[in-house]
Each structure stands twice: as structure tokens, then as C-alpha cells.
A = this chain, B = another copy of it.
Amino acid sequence: MARGESGAVRVALLGCGTVGTEVVRLITDQAADLTARVGTPVELVGVAVRRPHRHPWLTENFGHLVTTDAGALVARDDVDVVVEVIGGIEPVRGWLLEALKAGKSVVTANKALLAEDGPTLAEAADASGADLYFEAAVAGAIPLLRPLRESLAGDRITRVAGIVNGTSNFILSAMASGGTSYGDALEEATRLGYAEADPSADVDGYDAASKAAILATLAFHTRITASDVHREGMRGVSSADVAAARRLGCTIKLLAICERVVDEAGAESVSARVYPAMVPDSHPLARVDGAFNAVFVEAEAAGQLMFYGQGAGGAPTASAVLGDMVAVARNRVGGGRGPRESAYASLPVRAIGEVPTRYHVDLEVADREGVLAAIAGEFARQGVSIAAVRQTGGINGSIDSTARADDAGPGPARLTVVTHSAREAALSATVAALADLDHVIGVVGVLRVEGLGRAVSALGMGE
């Protein structure tokens, strides 16, 4: 355990954007506290940035530490810990692998890299005995990974589900509270700095899927990568969907869900998925607004736990990075190691088609006799059990503005069906068959309903 002559733990920082700047600030402002907590000083020995002229605060105050050569910084003999807050897969992967192979501890917030290639990093850490910590990669400041890896290490986790992308939650919150359209809400999020110029990582669910992969890996002791996660974004959520959810006593949230699934034969598998879903307003997740994150964890002995806080932002993410940095520094001083990769369970991944969920299906239908029977028949044919049906409209009802005025018959009506738990594959087949029915003018919306319970009774039959 090489350390400086002064006994200091020497830290190299890769990247100095919003999070990195806060990391530098906290390391320097809290030097005395960190020394007391670690047992020896923590010394920042280098900061790698691509374009130093874009970091005036850094170059002015810490110019002697700045380098543009991250690879050379990582390779330096006088570096004990590498903190990475650049993000993205390449070229970061190579630097972190080099660091771990050389026995340097790594603290990273890089969810994309961990979700794509976490096992390779973990193996490098195990081989050299170095630490690999990444609390900041999921849910920012919320202590979530440490509880999963350590506090619940004697329990059996059955489910981790939550809101782990603040940008999409900000947009969905704005749509729900202000009746704003998706486009307007996205514009507002961009203006406030919550959304990036290209919002795809957030609104298309890539960011949440990376986090789901990391959570599922830890919760179920099974290597889950981003490609194992079923992913649907929230671009398709319309104001009509938001209104439909409200009528049901629900709120639409972009959820990351990781579940241990046990089939009839007792065989276990892991389901990891990201999609927008209706959540009953009685559920605490429905009340998580704006850019906040919240995650529910269910374990056999612990029961239900919830963690709530800021999922992004410079200071909150830096708090998580610093917590990890103190841990790896303590380990270097004390001679211990953090928890290693635990992937012994190696459970198979369950295909999304086999995952049971409840669904909310909104149909625009011709207001004729027999329409309900025909529709119910299609659900029954696929073995999808209906929990509740509500019809609104005829011609004077709450008809969608897209209703075709030239329809024959007494005019279209809206039919809302909420199913009992059904396999995705059966529901997809049902929806395809419904779209072909004469009576059905259009399938207006299909959304999953998660954590239902009370919402079904709130729906009732007709109004």
C-alpha cells in the first residue's frame, strides 16, 4: 500500500466539470475534516482536463495540478486513488483499467461504463486487490449502493424500483402539474439546465437503464449489463396519457425496476426494465416531483425501504464521490478492502415478454352494440384478465380530438381497460388483435400500471 512520504493518500482527479469542480472544492475546503476522518491527509496531486482554458477557476487556483494527459496522470507512481468524473465508455475504460491493474483504487461516477463493462473493471480490481467504488453512479447523493452492497448483505432483496433519472422526472412532473406538453416541458428542462442539448440519454431511458443494470447487479449478485435491461423511454407520453393517469388516480413516472422473479417451478431469474408507468397517487413514488430521485427496495427480512434525495447536480454527486474517496482512503490506511464484486448467483435474465405487469389500455371505439363483448373477447383469447373497464363518450362524451368526424354509426367513444397482471407478450398480442377489430377506431394509449392496489378500486365502473 504505497502512500506518500507524509503518509498522505494521493488522489488524481479525471475530469473537472460540474461534479469535478465540487470535488476539488470539497477536498480543499474540508481538508482538516477529511484528515481526521481518514486518519491521514488526503492530497490532490493532479487534475486531468481536456481543455484547461475552459476551466479558469481550476487553472487559476490549482494550475500546478492541471494536466491534459489523463493517461500519464493515472500512471504516475505518486497516485494512490483515481477519481473519475468524465463519463462515457472510451477513453475512460482504458485509464481505469490501468489504474486498477496497478493496484490503485478507483472511485467513479461513470454509470455508462459500469453498466456496459463493470465486470471487467471488477475483475481488474479483484486481481490487484484494489478498491472499486461507484456510489455516485446511481441516484447522485442518495446512499443507495452502499446499503445494497453492505447493509442488506445478510438479507434477500426481491425488488428495487424507483425514479433514477431526474430530467425525465422533471418533465413528467411539469406535464402532470401544469398540463404542459412534453415539448414545452423539455424546453423548460433544457432552459433550467436539467436537460442536455441532446436529451436522448435521459428521455429515451438510456441513463435509467444503465442505473438499473448497476442496481440489479448488486441486488441479485448477478452480472446484468445495460443490454440486459428492457428499455422504453418517455418521449411517447402524451398529455392525454397524463390526463388518463389522473382519471385513474395515478401519476406517470419513468421507472427503473429490478425484480427477482420466481416461476412456478421455483426457478429464479432477474427482470430489469425501464419504462414509463402509471403509479397510484397513494404510492410515495407518485409524490416524488421535479428533479428528485427516489428508490424503493424490498427485501425479505427488511421489508420495504425507501431512499429519497437529489439524484444529480454537482454538489450532491460530489458528496457521494467524496464518501467513496474517504472509504478507499481509509482502506489504504487501515489495510482493508471494500466489498468485492459479488456475482455468484448468476441468475438468468427474464425476457420482457415473460414479465407480468398490469396494463392500462385506452381505446377509441365505435359506439355500437357488442363492442365491449368483442373487445373483452380479444383479451380473453390471449388469457389477459380484465380488472376494470370504463366507457366515456359516445358523441357527447370526452371524445379525443383526433376522433374522425366521418365515422359511421353513432360516433366514437373511449373505452379504458385496466388488466390484471398479464405477460407482456400476451398483452402485445391482445393490442395487435384489438387494432384489427372493426369496432376499434384506434388504440390511443397503452401504459403499464405498477404497484397498483388501490388504484383499481379508484377506477370503478363508469362514472
Contact = CB atoms under 8 A, between A and B. Distances in A.
Interface of A: 22, 26, 30, 33-34, 36-37, 135, 141-143, 146-147, 150-156, 221, 284, 287, 299-310, 313, 315-316, 318-327, 330-331, 334-337, 339, 342, 344-345
Given A318-B301, A336-B331, A151 B143 contact: yes
Contacts of A330: 339
Contacts of A345: 36
B308 A303 contact: no
Contacts of A313: 303
Nearest to A148: B143
B303 A310 contact: yes
B344 A154 contact: no
B303 A30 contact: no
Q: How many copies of this chain sit in the oligomeric assembly?
A: 2
A344 B26 CA distance: 19
A279 to B, nearest CB: 16
Contact of A141 (B156, B287, B302): B302
A151 to B, nearest CB: 3
6 nearest A-B residue pairs (beta carbon): A336-B336, A154-B322, A143-B151, A143-B147, A141-B302, A301-B319
Given A141-B302, A303-B315, A34 B337 contact: no
A154 B36 contact: no
Most chain B CB inside 10 Å of its own CB: which residue of A150, A152, A331: A150
A95 to B, nearest CB: 22
A304 B141 CA distance: 9
Contact of A323 (B143, B152, B325): B152
A36 B342 contact: yes
A169 to B, nearest CB: 16
B336 A150 contact: no
Contacts of A321: 154
25 contacts: A22-B301, A33-B221, A36-B345, A37-B221, A141-B305, A142-B305, A143-B151, A150-B323, A152-B319, A153-B322, A153-B323, A153-B326, A153-B327, A155-B323, A300-B315, A301-B319, A302-B316, A306-B307, A306-B308, A306-B309, A307-B308, A330-B339, A331-B336, A334-B336, A335-B337
